[in-house]
Structure 1
Amino acid sequence: MLALSTSLLGACNGNASGGGGGGGGVDEPGPTPVPPPPEPDRFAEPTSARDDALEDVGGFYDHDAQGQPRAVRHDLTGSLPAMVQFAQSHTVDPSGNEARNMPRLTAERAALLLVTPDPSLGEIHSLRLTVLLDGVAQPVLLLRHPNELYRSDANNSDGRKDYNYSRRAWSVHLPWDWVKPGMSLRVMDPLGRTGILAAEAIDFAAPAELVVQSIRLGMLTEPPEESNDHWFLRQPAQAAADYFQTIPAARITVGSYEPMQLARVMVANGTIYDTASVTNGDVYSGDMRENTGKSTVSVGINLANFGATASSMQSQEQPQLFQHVLAHHNVGMYANGRQSHGLSGGNGMLTVYATSGNEFSHEIGHHYGLGHYPGEKDGNHFWAGHHHDSGWGYIAYRKRMRANLNWTRAETTALAGMPSFEDTYAFGTDAMSGGHFSSALSRYTHYTGYSTRVAIQPALDRAIPRASSSTGYVKWSAASRKLEEIAPSVPDNARLFFNVTDGKYRKPRLIGVPVFTVLGGYHPETGSALLYPAFRGNWGNVFDLPEPQAGAATRQCWLEVSFASGPARKVAMAGSVLQAGSVNKLHVNLAQADKPTQARLMCQAPGAAASELAAISIAQDLPAMPAPVVIGQEAGYAALRAVELPEFEALLLARAQPTVLDLGTRGRLLHASYADDPTGLSSEAAAVLARYEEQESKARRLNRWMNAYRAELQADDNTEARAALEALLKTLGLDQRPRLPAPQQLLVGGNCVKVETVDGKPHPYIAAASTCTGAPDELWLADANGSIRSNADLSLCLGSPGGHNAVTLSTCDRERENQVFDLSTLPQIKRNGACLDMSGGRLVEGRAPLITYGCSGGGNQRWTGLTANDNLLPTLLSNSNLGVMRALETP
């Protein structure tokens, strides 16, 4: 007790002396009280995509063909069981696809990974992915919430429900060089639950490559005039990127030849025309169609790229060593006049009017080995069209998905044996089965999983030219799951002249370089011959080809080529007729860089002097051709970016001034494609882009907040919620008055556009002026996007299906081009070159249909009442939140 008192006394003395004052001691202060934690913000901003509401959007793959919730297959093993799919040209499983008549995952091609957790796991807040390549971990990726799954390519405006591929699948883009054998996946959630997909559990198909070239050809007449139908020629980057999305290839190369007009033509029987063919021609017939366009030009260019120098002109055979296709737009002068050819394809050649649309998808389908209505049996077309399990596609460069639904046709229009989807949509049919498809993003038909599995993927699995290979070629080995060198054998076919001694294809000296292709026909025995002007192309293989045998005991023929510098070269040709009743055709690629100046076709019988059968001069110092377009693998979509980034730049600069930065449907598409890498934009365009993204960020924050607190905003006592909303609007800089513009009438000649219900669906029509009272069903609101919303239901917008069809009323969607109207030229209201129109120009029984029609300036297209506005909220708010805001602003 004494010790304790001494201790306390010492403490007091110390305090007194330390304080420096006289009198009593000073107590040492106690610890500062910890303030109570602040009250949590009742209306804190949400930050998760869980609060990004998708309004009236279904999940296509979330239900099976019977309409039942689809079972979640456990592809991931471990404590996080989940189903895994990969989306490329089709959505496929990690393995077992053959049993479902679906293609395998294509190696060395980017893919969208889809992970659907088992429902038993409960709510998942986030997922992270680690990809291991042969056991080596790659950078960790954060998966996108199911609400953020890339949207479909829907393009309908008829009010039917919208669908994403899934509402349950998490997703992330996998780079092309991760998608290959040796890839394994490890998925983890914040609770530490982990799911594994082992490398050996993933089946791969070959990293296939396809080369497509095009030419416009006129035989004794001018070539067809270039048009948008010639999509591979006019817009090769767009065509390559688009068609690439429909096939299971890792790479596509698109080349071209300059247009060619042939003043003289040789056909297989040896006849040389200089005015017109003696035969009649049409879309499918004509001797020049067969012997010149198809055999000499298309097949000849194929064979030149394989190293064959001559073949029978009557024959259209070629071995398709690697995947090379030549499409020709072909016209000829016949006994019945100028005739064009098309609608035909197969065996490396396409005779087509268009390299866009189903004609191209269909005819190249024949090249892959597909017939009509693949899989059809006894009138049942189930496999000839899409169905619940035939796969959607991934349009990687647009960050969108390709649906297998036909968005615009009625659900009852399917082929016999094909199902419909939820009694709402018809499925699309295969390119070989009518090619009925609709897409906001593609010009090409989406092949079914069945056609892709049974024909396209196997056909694409061919040799690939490789300069690094000692033989010049590599091919996918299913056993080793990698590309291996091969030494392919030339076919045993007397109608083809490869002129090899070891039976193997020659290694190309140059692969995919600009070439002059020398084509023509000749009869070695009679000496009749014709060399066409050299065909100039931007892609071809060039070989070191053998010379004719000196002192041979048989007739020798050769092509003697002179160059601007260096010695002439002789290329051996077949010295005899390769097929009875037919002349030979010749086909040789010459590198443009070697500067060939002349080609002479020579023949020499034993003991006789050599004779010249034909000769051509080859022009030099020509302007360089555009480089071929390459899409896929390390090239990515750089070729398309080079074309579209200037367009994006111009679009951004054109929208630099408006209060509301709306990029329009096309601009938003380009934004989705390139905003994540704005490299190449000017500082001015980049500044507009930054403004737009700030605006979109504000819209996302506002919509998330209103989604999260919608119940509070709609409650009877919503004072607190309204105050919080006001505060957020001020924080976001969206505190404008009035919050929403006043709705307006849409009038033509004093008559108003109203909304009625027809068969349970809202429908716009024009009503007589005497019935117009300003009621909600005849009031409209235009937003900065160009949408015209019904005041009776702000989630509904006018839309035009095109042509002279009736204008519809369907759910407003910023991505639907058919809902965008131009009010900048009032009193006309335009869309896609047409004007909003009162059909017939008059009322019948007090009403008239509302349509779009070619702009005429007539009174039936002069609209009053409705004006454009730059109010932010109608453009930035979701449909539901716009309705909530209207309710809050209505007394």
Structure 2
Amino acid sequence: MNIHKTLLAIAISAGSFSACASIAPLVFHQQDDAINSLTGSLKGQVKFAQTHTIDPANNSAQEMPRLVSLRDTLFMFIPHSDSTGTKYTIQLTDKKGVSHGPFTLSPPSALPASDKADPADSAHPDVVYSDNAYSAKLSWDLIEPGMVISISDENGHTGLLADIDVGAENEVMIQNIRLGMLTEPAKTNELEGNSTLAADYFQKIPVSRLIVGNYSPLHLTKVVLSDGKVYDYQSDTTGDVYSGDMREDIAKNLISMGIDNANFGINDSAGSTQWQPAWFNIYAVHEACGFYQNGVVEHGLSGGNGMATLTQTTGNEFSHELGHAYGLGHYPGGGMWSTHNPNSGWGWDSFNNRFIANFFWDENGNVVSEGVTTLPFSGVYRFNTDAMAGGVASSPYSAYTLYTGYSQKRIQAGMENTGVISESAASGYLIWDEDKHEMVERNDPTRLKPVKFGVPVTTLVGFYDPVKDVKGYIYPPMTSSYGYVYAPQPVKGGQCWAEVTFADNHKQRYPLAGARHNTARMNKFHFNVETASNPQSVSVNCPQEDMSAAYDTWRNDYFGVERIKNWSADKNGVAGDVYLDTDGRYFKLKHPGYWYYPAGTQSNNDWEYLTNEKALNDLFAAELAGQSYDSMGVELLDQRTIEPATVEPAPAVVIGKSEGFTQVLEQTIRFEQNAQLKPHSYATVEAFEKDVRTSYGKSDIKTWSSKGKDSGMPGDLYVYENPYTKTRDYFILKQKNYWYFPTSQQSTQVWGYIGSATQYVHNDVSPLFAHINKSLSTESLLKKYFSREDIFSWSQRKATTQDREIFVYQNPHNKDKEYFLQRNRTSGHYFPTNKKSNADWYYIGDEKTLEAMKQLSQADMEQQLLSWYGKTEFKPWQSNATNNTIGDLYKNDNKGTQDYFMLKTPTYWYFPTNLTSNNDWEYLGSY
């Protein structure tokens, strides 16, 4: 579901009551009996779907991704055309030899639907992924390297799928922040705390788990740059979406790199350098704006190196810029590979169980990219392009762009080569071993293991100058709903340090480099403390002694010289003099007169290579390490009180693995919050449920079954004819297995109640529909209105095959011929005799009332129509109208007839005059 992206009009029109001719769907994946994935007597092709539809193995050769470990997966079996089987089951055996199943494959008719939202017509037919694929959704915990799957049919034929290429369990963490530099931060960030969008993005990247941490919005009223320049009102420079001194030095260098490195356990880095070690897949996403000489500027359209600078957190900008962060360039693979095509794979939304087409449902034509032409699918639908090649989020059910298989393969490879942070790993890190086909410990002595995983953190960042030439600055603390906390290491002699004081008065010191990383700029510091530990203040301190002078003295003594010389300034050097080049290398002069330094660490006839600046600094630091951190005195550089965030950070969202889509389910909006559903607007439950499915992104609505109680999947949508409240209720399943529905229209641990049809579906006939169809007999009118073929009598109640069939009853008490809808097929006790509904029957009306409705005057019809829609008046049309109420009714005098409309958008323009709907208006009919 993507409420942010698509508003589907929902109303009743004359045309909505007549059935359209069935349009045969096209088939995306054509059956090919030359392909057999199995060994054994059963033959057929197997396809899997995660982010993309793929083969069991050999995907790399086809420039496609492989399966991701520990992720929900759609299994599809397409039997050869000569197969006599119609019922298939699978058994999965894991690498330990443990068997799982059997799982019954659903028939091709139950294959997930496409993401086409608009009704099919001859020019825009629906497309199914396959017309002969039997399928089953496999739970995340079954998908591991080494698994094998056996398939059997009811005739005793079996086949074995042993060659299944499963890759690493990848993980991505996004840290999301709104930042205002000398101006207020943006008011909204679509992704912030939005579990639905997080689940949507999860469908697009090859991960087992996605974490979206959210920071409180940060408003900086004072800005200090890494060179010491201070702004308290406005930047000295101009800015735009791509540029600005605060964009580079603060939003990217300090805030984003600070967030990344704090979560890596790295306390300091060069103040002007965008550096992070990429020890696991974390990406700081910032929506930043700043006040420049040309006014307030919104930054964005940039990504890479562990971060993204964005104007919005939906759409192709998000997919594209994070694609750069994943290592992709523009037009990956050129025009052919960066354009979707019949072989680049459909997407699959595992939460909503829908396929995501790789083409546009509303566009035709060729794609021409870098000289390569890609023809439209079946000559009908224009293919989309990759997120890195001008693609768009084309699916009606997704806010993000589907990568091509070519790009996804490379994203997956990059993530596998990076590894994951892991609380269960002794080292804290796991990396994929391609030879062993498993995740193994990554032992790297430079990496620390967090002492707290995934807790709310306070991130402290700022600039400091160990040389003490420039006044540093501790920035206001940043509060996040999710992060990693590391135990501070001991502060060694010669180092600077940050000191945090907590509410219980205990202190922690965090070591910082005692020398500049870049001789021209200050250093920056960045580390996390657990918010729950209640930090109160922070200070940054350095040794009082001049460490640069101490280093120079030590270095001269180390080399046995009075000073270090320079190639340009000291041409008259003698043998034994030591020189430092611009790359930080030290050389000893062999004789008077010289030429250029040699490359790298080599020596030549003039120069003897000695060492480099880093190695020398490390040696100096090692000699100081044994001294107390305060043995050289203490000089306070800056201090700040840590104030609690004025706005609490939005909760972190975790999608995948054991967490599944729990947070999405808990945040599922109810009908009354769903702007796509309009009260009092549906003639039939089928029309209502179609829009329920559409607005919640589901391909079907399930019913409770004792046989199916173990096969339900979290996120499935269910309907319940509640005999206690006499309502048709709807629930989202929150756990894999289920039991009875709650009868009180409340949520439970298993079921999430989202609403009832009562306020939406009419069990009586629209007065406008009755007028339009006044030439029909009463029973013909009812059959057309409720889209039913027959009208039944009470004795036929056990023979119905669908809910809400029409029944007629000659009431002996009042002598009226009355009509009812059967709540549940094959059930029902006696009809009510008081012209009301009961637990088994919805009362429609009697014949006399329905006949009278057909003959209503215009004025009377309009009053009944307003009442039928729950309105009190027709709204007047106004030019330049804004902020109007969707669902309000309007009427328009059109050449002697009165046209009736329902408003679809908050703003509108003219009514259509050709008895049709448009983007603003839903045509209801005319009198």
Is the pair's TM-score, using the shorter chain for normalization, greater than 0.5? Answer: yes
Runs ≥4 residues deviating over 6 A: 621-624, 648-659, 686-693, 722-730, 737-740, 821-826, 834-839
Q: CA deviation at 1:182?
A: 3.0
Q: CA deviation at 1:543?
A: 0.7
SS across alignment from 1:562 = strand
On the 8 A contact 2:179/2:217 being kept in 1, the answer is yes
Matches within 5 A, 1:811-890: 828-830=900-902, 832-833=904-905, 850=916, 852=918, 854=920, 864-865=925-926
SS across alignment from 2:483 = coil
Q: CA deviation at 1:675?
A: 2.7
Q: CA deviation at 1:576?
A: 1.1
- Measure the CA separation in 2 of the matches of 1:530 and 1:110: 47
Q: CA deviation at 1:207?
A: 0.9
- Measure the CA separation in 2 of the matches of 1:112 and 1:504: 40
Closer/same/farther in 2, CA of residues 725 and 342 from structure 1, 3 Å limit: same
1:734 aligns with 2:805: yes
- Measure the CA separation in 1 of the matches of 2:229 and 2:756: 68
Deviations 1:578-626 (A, max 9, x none): 0122211110101112111000111113375312111111135988644
Structure 1 equivalent of residue 191 of structure 2: 232
Q: Which runs of 5+ in 2 are unaligned?
A: 1-20, 546-630, 701-714, 719-730, 735-740, 748-752, 762-788, 809-816, 820-864, 866-878, 880-885, 892-898
Structure 2 equivalent of residue 766 of structure 1: none
1:96 aligns with 2:58: yes
On the 8 A contact 2:791/2:805 being kept in 1, the answer is no
Deviations 1:640-692 (A, max 9, x none): 00010645998999789987465355522546443357567752448999998
1:136 aligns with 2:78: no
Match of 1:397 among 351, 354, 374: 351
Q: CA deviation at 1:263?
A: 1.5
- Identity %, equivalent residues: 32
On the 8 A contact 2:257/2:274 being kept in 1, the answer is yes
Q: CA deviation at 1:57?
A: 1.1
- Measure the CA separation in 2 of the matches of 1:690 and 1:352: 36
- Measure the CA separation in 2 of the matches of 1:446 and 1:218: 31
- Measure the CA separation in 1 of the matches of 2:648 and 2:512: 30
Count of residues in Structure 1 that have an aligned counterpart in Structure 2: 665
Closer/same/farther in 2, CA of residues 545 and 834 from structure 1, 3 Å limit: closer
Structure 2 equivalent of residue 509 of structure 1: 451
Q: CA deviation at 1:864?
A: 4.6
Structure 2 equivalent of residue 485 of structure 1: 441
Task: State the TM-score, normalized to the length of structure 1.
Answer: 0.69
On the 8 A contact 1:838/1:849 being kept in 2, the answer is no
Matches within 5 A, 1:383-782: 383-415=337-369, 416-459=372-415, 461-488=417-444, 503-525=445-467, 526=469, 528-549=471-492, 552=493, 554=494, 556-606=495-545, 609-619=633-643, 625-644=649-668, 646-647=670-671, 660=685, 662-669=687-694, 670=696, 672=700, 673-675=715-717, 678=732, 683-685=743-745, 731-732=799-800, 734-736=805-807
On the 8 A contact 1:212/1:255 being kept in 2, the answer is yes
Structure 1 equivalent of residue 87 of structure 2: 126
- Measure the CA separation in 2 of the matches of 1:724 and 1:188: 43
Structure 2 equivalent of residue 56 of structure 1: 24
- Measure the CA separation in 2 of the matches of 1:621 and 1:247: 32
On the 8 A contact 1:653/1:685 being kept in 2, the answer is no
SS across alignment from 1:593 = helix
Matches within 5 A, 1:64-75: 70-75=32-37
- Measure the CA separation in 1 of the matches of 2:480 and 2:890: 46
Closer/same/farther in 2, CA of residues 647 and 603 from structure 1, 3 Å limit: farther
Q: CA deviation at 1:390?
A: 0.5
Closer/same/farther in 2, CA of residues 835 and 521 from structure 1, 3 Å limit: closer
Structure 2 equivalent of residue 150 of structure 1: 112
Structure 2 equivalent of residue 285 of structure 1: 243
On the 8 A contact 2:70/2:144 being kept in 1, the answer is yes
1:81 aligns with 2:43: yes
Match of 2:287 among 313, 324, 329: 329
- Measure the CA separation in 2 of the matches of 1:654 and 1:221: 42
- Measure the CA separation in 1 of the matches of 2:66 and 2:376: 26
Structure 2 equivalent of residue 197 of structure 1: 161
- Measure the CA separation in 2 of the matches of 1:346 and 1:184: 38
- Measure the CA separation in 1 of the matches of 2:670 and 2:437: 41
- Measure the CA separation in 2 of the matches of 1:262 and 1:624: 17
SS across alignment from 1:513 = strand
- AA of the residue aligned to 1:231: E
On the 8 A contact 1:212/1:326 being kept in 2, the answer is yes
Deviations 1:819-866 (A, max 9, x none): xx9697666423632799866x77xxxxx69562557xxxxx986537
- AA of the residue aligned to 2:456: P
Q: CA deviation at 1:155?
A: 3.5
- AA of the residue aligned to 2:488: L
Q: CA deviation at 1:724?
A: 12
Closer/same/farther in 2, CA of residues 256 and 417 from structure 1, 3 Å limit: same
Matches within 5 A, 1:1-80: 55-62=23-30, 70-80=32-42
- Measure the CA separation in 1 of the matches of 2:798 and 2:182: 73
1:314 aligns with 2:257: no
On the 8 A contact 1:270/1:523 being kept in 2, the answer is no
- Measure the CA separation in 2 of the matches of 1:271 and 1:421: 57
- Measure the CA separation in 2 of the matches of 1:723 and 1:531: 77
On the 8 A contact 1:411/1:420 being kept in 2, the answer is yes
Q: CA deviation at 1:304?
A: 0.6
SS across alignment from 1:231 = coil
On the 8 A contact 2:360/2:394 being kept in 1, the answer is yes
Q: CA deviation at 1:369?
A: 0.9
On the 8 A contact 2:900/2:926 being kept in 1, the answer is no
Closer/same/farther in 2, CA of residues 243 and 194 from structure 1, 3 Å limit: same
Deviations 1:466-490 (A, max 9, x none): 22222111122222222221123xx
Closer/same/farther in 2, CA of residues 216 and 176 from structure 1, 3 Å limit: same
On the 8 A contact 1:678/1:686 being kept in 2, the answer is no
On the 8 A contact 1:429/1:437 being kept in 2, the answer is no
Structure 2 equivalent of residue 779 of structure 1: none
Closer/same/farther in 2, CA of residues 135 and 615 from structure 1, 3 Å limit: same
Structure 2 equivalent of residue 7 of structure 1: none
Q: Which runs of 5+ in 1 are unaligned?
A: 1-52, 63-68, 489-502, 697-721, 741-783, 785-803, 805-820, 843-847, 856-860, 867-891
- AA of the residue aligned to 1:232: L
Q: CA deviation at 1:219?
A: 0.8
Match of 1:174 among 127, 133, 138: 138
SS across alignment from 2:186 = coil
Q: CA deviation at 1:288?
A: 0.7
- Measure the CA separation in 1 of the matches of 2:221 and 2:487: 31
- AA of the residue aligned to 1:683: T
On the 8 A contact 2:54/2:64 being kept in 1, the answer is yes
SS across alignment from 1:83 = strand
- Measure the CA separation in 2 of the matches of 1:472 and 1:516: 21
